[in-house]
Amino acid sequence: MARSAHAVHPGPAPRDTAPALAPDARAAVLAWFDARGRALAFRATRDPYAILVSEVMAQQTQISRVVEAWSRFLEHFPTVQALADATPADVLRAWQGMGYDRRALNLRRTARVIVDEHGGAVPRDVAALERLPGIGPYTARAVASIAFEQAVGAVDTNVRRVLGRVLGGPAGPGLPAAWLQAAADRAVDPSRPGDWTHAVMDIGATLCRPVNPRCDACPVKAWCAFARDRADQPSGAAPVPPRTNQRPRPRRVAFTATTRWLRGRIVDQLRAADGAAWVTIDPPIGGHEAPAVRDAMQALARDGLVELDVGDPARARLARA
């Protein structure tokens, strides 16, 4: 389908009926990527394991932080086998600065599954990738396309926004996930799936911002329903998405008041300790008093990140096994 961006489908769309990008639009996106795509260190590798690590890191962390952490992590664990053999404590120390520490443990579990069930080679197909611990639909498709050049569309928040706007206009990003997934699968350039994935991610990160997208610099503007609607606005302002029955947004809680922040500070204290030394965690931590600190330590132990001293549960260390 060429430039029929307003013809949005209200429900799930099988791949062959999802709207498709015009071949010229694909070519324009890839030409833009060749000239202006982000030259990130982890894009230079062809090693599926290194690509898998970068995609897990990028799930919830800014790319600028991922670049340095990725190199450091691979120095510690250059192969799947090295990661599979590591202790949780080793992996958590190498994960420093990344946040969402459970990802590190899932990555180690993933390495063990790859060694035990896939002969040490990262699986190629999406279904097998999705069965790995902590690997969701987006990461599985990103790895399949980037590491193995499979023509599958990886849909994260940025890609949802780009493709949704291009194909569906202002309401596009809110269309059903299955519809967008089908459209994303169909949009992939089959001759360059990995570059396509990177290109759409880069457009989402650098041009197609949530507010005030830079349509004039965007390679897909000529085929974009959102940009066309925007041009039709009297002031050239961004079109307003149709209102949906959204619930009111919950009030924002300061990050330092969250359990996630508290867990991160406890793990940071344990990371800083030597080897297997026990560390006494003294409340309060920030505004979190003793009961909250105790609950967070117990939750960290249940999640396999830390061990608590049975004789003194105020003492902990990073998990050794």
Question: If binding is defined by CB under 6 A, does position 226 make contact with ligand SF4?
Answer: yes
User: Footprint of ligand SF4 on residues 18-37 (CB under 6 A)?
Assistant: none
Q: Longest C-alpha distance within the chain, in Å?
A: 71
CB of 206 to ligand SF4, least distance (A): 9
Copy the structure tokens of residue 178.
Answer: 């299955």
Cis peptide before 250 (omega within 30 of 0): no
- The alpha-helical segments, DSSP class H, found in 151-289 are 157-168, 177-187, 193-206, 225-232, 259-271
CB of 154 to ligand SF4, least distance (A): 16
Question: If binding is defined by CB under 6 A, does position 224 make contact with ligand SF4?
Answer: yes
Coil, helix or strand for 156? Answer: coil
CB of 219 to ligand SF4, least distance (A): 8
User: Given the complex with ligand SF4, which of 231 and 276 has the nearer CB atom?
Assistant: 231
Contacts of residue 96, defined as CB under 8 A and 6 or more positions apart, other chains included, come to: 69, 268, 271
Residue range at the interface with ligand SF4 (CB under 6 A); choices 11-19, 38-46, 68-76, 224-232: 224-232
Coil, helix or strand for 287? Answer: coil
List beta partners, residue 288. 285
Question: If binding is defined by CB under 6 A, does position 218 make contact with ligand SF4?
Answer: yes
Instruction: Tell me how many residues contact ligand SF4 (CB under 6 A).
Output: 14
Q: Is 117 a catalytic residue?
A: no
The answer to whether 111 and 80 are in contact (CB under 8 A) is yes
Residue 60 sits at φ, ψ, to 5 deg, of: -135, 20
User: Given the complex with ligand SF4, which of 63 and 205 has the nearer CB atom?
Assistant: 205
Question: If binding is defined by CB under 6 A, does position 193 make contact with ligand SF4?
Answer: no
Interface with ligand SF4 (CB under 6 A): 162, 165-166, 207-208, 213-215, 218, 220-221, 224, 226-227
Active centre residues (catalytic): 55
